[in-house]
A and B are shown apart, each in its own frame.
Chain A
Amino acid sequence: MDLDLARQAQAGDESAFAEIVRRYSPRVFSVASRFFRQRPLVEEAAQEVFLKAYTQLGSFEGRGSLEGWLTRIATNTCLNMVRGAKRRPELTVSDLTEDEQGWLEQQSAGDGGEPASVETTVVATDLADRLLSVLSPEDQQTLLMIDGEQASIKEVAEATGWSESKVKVRAFRARRKVREAMEKLLSYKRA
């Protein structure tokens, strides 16, 4: 089914390619949203992914799913777009907004329940971006996929093209760095 659609699109059938875009744009947007927060950037990345996919349709052999193939293109395209983005060597509590500090206090004092309102979710998302900025884009993605989306090591390896052992190392390193950065923030708050 996927292979047929890909072959038709490759042969110049516009409606077949439009169907691919319609069917898989939610998945591509989901991947791009891990990298970018603003809609224009997510849309730009997603468009780039589909244009790239169109030119590479011949390389899709149908061994895996079209969704998996597009996920891989999306992950690599977005990684290329964010590579070179500035990394924070360290995150201190002074880097946080009052809302973010308040969120941390509330969460560490509470029972660990999930953020309830839209506002607190936005604050938590902002805080996540700050915390993740101590990591390389590759480590960020590994952590977001495994700990955020509960993807398996194998799935991350397939989406990125890295070996499973590399994914494991990245996940371990990312988790430790983020935990240490958070510990530091919490110790500043306590002091």
Chain B
Amino acid sequence: MKDKHITEILDNTSIAMLSESELNEIRVHAMECMSCRDAFEAARLSAVIIKSRVEATIEPSPFFQTRVMAALREQQAVESVPAMLRLWRSAKALVSTMAVTTAALAVVSFIQPSQTTPVIDQTASAYSAYSVIMDQDADDQMSYEQVLSTIYEDDDDVR
């Protein structure tokens, strides 16, 4: 039996599925051939630990059925809600935040300028007061004729 033949048998079939005659044939060959002995030993140990791995099965808990049914009901409840409502529910927080932000911006945009308006008004009224004073001065102190005579008087003085 050639070395390649041994490894091919080992890789082609599970050791558990080999017949007793095949196993004997391999054992006899492995006694003479070092590399085949190592390959056989490795395959045997691999088979043992793979069997151990498969035996480590976890059993369902007594509550598993209840858990699945609850998850199923939850899933159905989610699916029964109309898509728009689901969209609204998921977007509610975002929309609320946006509304608050918009309101805050509105306050900043409209309330704040109205606070500055009195300042402008004050300035305007200051100017108005000045002009009123000036106007009042002109109106109260000088009539149109008086202004003209004043001008001409000035001209006469110059001459």
Which chain A residues have a beta carbon within 8 Å of chain B's beta carbons? 14, 17-18, 21-22, 25-26, 28-30, 32-34, 37, 39, 42-43, 46-47, 50-51, 54, 104, 107-108, 112, 114-115, 121, 124-125, 127-129, 131-132, 143-144, 146-150, 172, 175-176, 178-180, 182-183, 186-187
Contacts and interface: CB of A to CB of B under 8 A. Distances in A.
Would you call the interface of chain B mostly helix, strand, loop, or mixed? helix
Given A25-B60, A33-B57, A108 B41 contact: yes
Interface residues of B, number: 39
A17 B45 contact: no
Contacts of A127: 49
Given A25-B60, A115-B48, 13 more contacts: A14-B69, A18-B65, A32-B58, A42-B58, A51-B75, A124-B52, A131-B46, A132-B53, A143-B50, A147-B47, A175-B46, A178-B46, A183-B41
B41 to A, nearest CB: 6
B14 A146 contact: yes
A71 B117 CA distance: 77
Nearest to A100: B49
Interface string B3-34: 00001001110111100000000000000000
Interface of B: 7, 10-12, 14-17, 38-39, 41-61, 64-65, 67-69, 71-72, 75
Nearest to B43: A179
A25 B16 contact: no
Would you call the interface of chain A mostly helix, strand, loop, or mixed? helix
B147 to A, nearest CB: 97
A62 to B, nearest CB: 22
Nearest to B73: A14
A21 B65 CA distance: 6
A144 B50 contact: yes
Given A43-B61, A183-B42, A148 B72 contact: no
Contacts of B16: 147, 150
A114 B56 CA distance: 14
A148 B51 CA distance: 5
B42 A182 contact: yes
26 contacts: A14-B72, A17-B72, A21-B64, A21-B68, A26-B59, A26-B60, A29-B58, A42-B58, A43-B60, A43-B64, A46-B64, A51-B68, A51-B72, A107-B48, A112-B44, A114-B48, A124-B49, A124-B52, A125-B52, A146-B14, A147-B50, A147-B51, A148-B54, A172-B11, A179-B39, A182-B45
